[in-house]
Each structure stands twice: as C-alpha cells, then as structure tokens.
C-alpha cells in the first residue's frame, strides 16, 4: 500500500476537456512549453500567427514593460506536419535565453509580500525561488501558444477575440467598446484603443516606475460571431469556465461579465435583454437582443450576442523600493526588489486574456458538436 507521504506532486497543470493543454517549465529553467491534446486533424497551423501572439506577450517590448529580453520563438516538437495538425498531441517549446537566477538568490529563505513564496513552501515543503519558478507569469507564454492554436480553430467559424486595456490604476476608459476602433489596440504600448486615455495611462505607469512602485488595471475582452448554443447548462456554464480561465491568470483578482456588479443595482425591468428578430441574407429569421446586459450568455449558454467581460489585475507585487517582511526563521527582513519587472503587467496580459478565452471557446465549440444529432 502506497503511503500518502509519497503522493506529493504538483497537480493543476492541465486545462480543458476536449481541447486540452498541459504547460510545463519554469521562469529561470531551460525553457517552457505546452502540449495540446484534442486539436482536430487537418487544421492549418499558422506559425507566424503563433509567433505574433508571443511577441505581444514577451518582455522587453517597450520602456514601460520588463527589460528581460526573450525572443520567445516557438519550436514545434510534434503534432504538425506540412503545416497542418495531424490529430496527435501538438507540443511546442520556448527556450529561455535571458534568465538571471542570481537576481533571486537573496529570496531563497525569504517570503516576498504579495507573492506565492509562502504558500508554495507550505504546500510543497520547498520551492524554486528563481523568479518564482512555476508561479512566475513566464509560464503564460505556454498558454499563449495553446491559445493561438485554439484561435486558429475558432477562426474557421469566424469567431474573433479582441482584448484591450480599459483601466490602469485610476485612469479608465469611459467610452463603450462599441464606440472604439478595436483594430488599433496594438497602436499604443499600453494597448488602449483610445489615444488620449492611452497617453494618461502611460503617464501613470511612468510615474510609479520612477518611484519604484507598480499599478494594476482592467482588461476588457470582446468575443464576436459566437453562435448561440455554446456552453453547458449546469457545471460547465460558459461564463463559469471563462471566469475560471481568467482567475487562473497570474495577478487576476476579479472577473465580471456583461453588466457585472453594476447589474446588481438595476431592476429586472431595466436589466432584461429584450429579443428582436431580423431576416438574414438567406431569408431566415435571426434572433438578437436589443441590449446586452447578460454579456452574450444566458443560462450558461451563448445567445449569439457579443460576449463581453472584464478582468481585474492587482498591482505587480515586486517593488523596486524597500518592503518589510520575514524570513523562514521568523526574523524581520527588509527587501528591496531586484531583477527586471513590469511596473504594470496589464498591457502584456492582453494576449494572455485572449488566449485563455480562445481555449475556453474552442473547448466548448468541440463539446457543442456532441450536444445533438
């Protein structure tokens, strides 16, 4: 009989049901990677698109982001032949080229405020202190690779996913997304599609960076051309799986969909989304809602409207200024952050939000093909 003391391992590295990913690797190890299981055979895999998504996430993009200089070029190890998926597991790997584990030597026996150091030690008995190891946001590059393949699958059904920064600290967009040109998201290093607000966000980030401090913010995500019917009615409601995906991203502290918490202030007569019928180009009735307080999901199932949700990120925990904490012996310690860190992680998190949304929707797109004959 196997004693429980020998059953110590790190679970929770896989995500999805039919379209499933498993990520591996650490921030300052040899590299990070992903295995994608469940991708149908015959999907054209655009490696340039995958690389583009990784470039949007990688460090060293601009002066308001981390100066760690990784190329983040993916190596395909399996599952793709002659530019198409074979139906076998797709595995991709990124080699870490600019890791500096020595920057973290002073943290081996000290718990950083706001980080996972203490909780990892309590759960596993020890931890990889080099940049947080598995808890580092470096791991999300693997999710972006998986999410890019999912997005290519969704593209076959014309489903598009666009995320953008809607708030940094107290600087927030006031215009609805329908009034914005979402094709311009990447025109600004802060990834806000409204130029004057983007300029204010950049200024706010520059100010905290000068002080050795950090800021959080909000990312809004819009999913268009989603067919009605995606999502399960009980334990895998579409909004529940989206919430789980977003809350699983490093530094995320909040999720709301549609009217969110503001909807709690409305009356039912104000909040209900009234249906209307249109005639499509083929002469068939097409049903839509006039408003979209539900965020495109009703009863856990997509209704055909845009899916709109918001994701809140806390400020980066590593500060380049002194912080008081304790070490493993309980002694008081003053920490001052070293290494290369983002003063605000939100702009680089935009493709991560898009990728996790794509993984959820690709999974439900496949599941929906099992719902009826």
Query: What is the per-residue pLDDT for 134?
Result: 79
SS3 category, 38 = coil
Query: What is the per-residue pLDDT for 54?
Result: 96
22 and 16 Cβ atoms separated by less than 8 Å: no
State how far the Cα of 15 lies from the Cα of 311, in Å rounded to an integer: 19
State how far the Cα of 68 lies from the Cα of 103, in Å rounded to an integer: 12
Instruction: Decide if 289 is inside a domain.
Output: no
Opening angle at CA 142, ends 138 and 148, nearest 5: 130
Instruction: Decide if 266 is inside a domain.
Output: no
Instruction: Decide if 282 is inside a domain.
Output: no
90 and 35 Cβ atoms separated by less than 8 Å: yes
Query: Would the pTM count as exceeding 0.85?
Result: yes
User: 10-residue block means of pLDDT along the chain (373 residues)?
Assistant: 53 93 90 96 97 89 61 93 97 85 72 86 81 82 97 97 98 96 96 98 95 96 97 96 97 97 96 92 90 97 97 92 89 79 93 98 96 83
223 and 160 Cβ atoms separated by less than 8 Å: yes
Instruction: Decide if 272 is inside a domain.
Output: no
Query: What is the per-residue pLDDT for 75?
Result: 95
Residue 359's closest CA among 89, 77, 137, 145? 145
The residue behind tokens 């790997």 is 93
Instruction: Decide if 252 is inside a domain.
Output: yes
**Three-state DSSP string of 69-132:** CCCCCCEEEECEECCEECCCCEEEEEECCCCCHHHHHHHCCECCCCCCHHHHHHHHCCCCCCCC
Lookup: tokens for 305:
């409207």
Q: How many domains does the chain have?
A: 1
14 and 139 Cβ atoms separated by less than 8 Å: no
Instruction: Decide if 325 is inside a domain.
Output: yes
Query: What is the per-residue pLDDT for 69?
Result: 64
Query: What is the per-residue pLDDT for 59?
Result: 75
Q: Is 348 exposed, middle or buried (0-12, 13-18, 19+ CB in 10 A)?
A: buried
Residue 204's closest CA among 68, 316, 345, 344? 344
DSSP class of residue 290?
A: S
Non-local CB neighbours of 185 within 8 Å, separated by 6+ positions: 162, 163, 164, 191, 192, 193, 350
Rg (CA), the chain: 22
The residue behind tokens 């209307």 is 276
39 and 85 Cβ atoms separated by less than 8 Å: yes
Instruction: Decide if 288 is inside a domain.
Output: no
Domain of 228 in residue numbering reads as 13-258+294-368
Query: What is the per-residue pLDDT for 1?
Result: 46
Instruction: Decide if 155 is inside a domain.
Output: yes
State how far the Cα of 171 lies from the Cα of 256, in Å rounded to an integer: 19
* CATH assignment at residue 206: 3.60.150.10
Q: What interhelical angle do 47-57 and 346-368 show, nearest 10? A: 140
């Amino acid at each position: 009989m196997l004693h429980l003391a020998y059953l110590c391992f790190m679970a929770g590295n896989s995500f999805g049901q039919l379209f499933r990913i498993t990520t591996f690797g650490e921030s300052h190890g040899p590299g990070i990677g992903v295995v994608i299981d469940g991708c149908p055979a015959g999907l054209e895999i655009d490696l340039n698109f995958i690389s583009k998504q990784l470039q949007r996430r990688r460090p060293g993009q601009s002066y308001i982001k981390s100066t760690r200089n990784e190329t983040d070029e993916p190596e395909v190890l399996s599952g793709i032949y002659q530019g198409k998926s074979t139906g076998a597991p797709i595995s991709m790997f990124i080699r870490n080229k600019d890791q500096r584990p020595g920057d973290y030597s002073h943290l081996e026996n000290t718990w950083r405020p706001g980080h996972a150091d203490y909780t990892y030690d309590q759960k596993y008995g020890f931890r990889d202190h080099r940049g947080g190891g598995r808890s580092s946001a470096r791991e999300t590059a693997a999710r972006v690779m998986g999410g890019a393949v999912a997005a290519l699958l969704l593209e076959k059904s014309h489903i598009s996913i666009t995320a953008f920064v809607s708030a940094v600290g107290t600087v927030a967009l006031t215009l609805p997304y329908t009034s914005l040109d979402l094709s311009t998201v990447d025109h600004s290093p802060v990834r806000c599609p409204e130029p004057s607000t983007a300029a204010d966000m950049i200024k706010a980030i520059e100010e905290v960076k000068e002080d050795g401090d950090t800021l959080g913010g909000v990312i809004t995500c819009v999913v268009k051309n989603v067919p009605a019917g995606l999502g399960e009615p009980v334990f895998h409601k579409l909004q529940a799986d989206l919430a789980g995906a977003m809350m699983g991203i490093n530094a995320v502290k909040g999720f709301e969909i549609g009217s969110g918490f503001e909807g709690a202030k409305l009356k039912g007569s104000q909040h209900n989304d009234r249906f209307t019928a249109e005639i499509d180009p083929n002469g068939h009735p097409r049903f839509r809602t006039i408003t979209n307080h539900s965020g495109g999901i009703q009863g856990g199932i997509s209704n055909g409207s845009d899916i709109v949700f918001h994701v809140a990120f806390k400020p980066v925990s590593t500060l380049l200024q002194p912080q008081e904490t304790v070490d493993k012996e309980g002694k008081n310690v003053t920490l001052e952050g070293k290494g290369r860190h983002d003063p605000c992680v939100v702009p680089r998190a935009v493709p991560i939000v898009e990728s996790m949304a794509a993984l959820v929707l690709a999974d439900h797109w496949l599941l929906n093909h099992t719902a009826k004959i």
